[in-house]
Amino acid sequence: MEHLIKEDHANLNHLFRKMDELERKLEQKADRVVSVQVLHHRNEIDELIEKINTLEQKLESLKGLMTTIEKSETEAEIKEIDKSRVKKSWLVSMLSMFGM
C-alpha cells in the first residue's frame, strides 16, 4: 500500500511538472504573439506617420501655390485699376480742354 502511495505521489509530481512546463510554454507563446502584434502595430504607425508627413508637405506646397495665385490676382487687379484710372484721367483732361 505504501508503495502505491509513493507511486501515486511520484505520478502527481510528474503531472505537476508537466503542467508547469506547459504553462511556461504557453506564456512564451503568448509573449511571442504579443511581440509580433506590437511589431505589426509599430509598422502601421510608421506608415501612418509617413503618410501624415507627405500630406503636410503637400499642404505646405498648396499654401505656397495659393499665396502665389493670390499675389498674381492682386497684381492683376492693381493693373486693371491703374488702366482704368489712366483712361479716366485722359478722358477728364480731354473734356476739360473742351470746357465741359
Taking only the tens of pLDDT, the chain with its 100 residues reads 777 788 888 889 999 999 999 999 999 999 999 999 999 999 999 999 999 999 999 999 999 998 888 888 777 777 776 666 655 566 566 566 666 5
pLDDT computed for residue 56 by the predictor: 97
Distance of CA 66 to the CA centre of its chain: 23
Q: Whose grid coordinates read 497684381?
A: 75
Q: Residue 27 and residue 36: Cα distance in Å, rounded?
A: 14
Phi and psi angles of residue 99, each rounded to the nearest 5 degrees, phi first: 75, 30
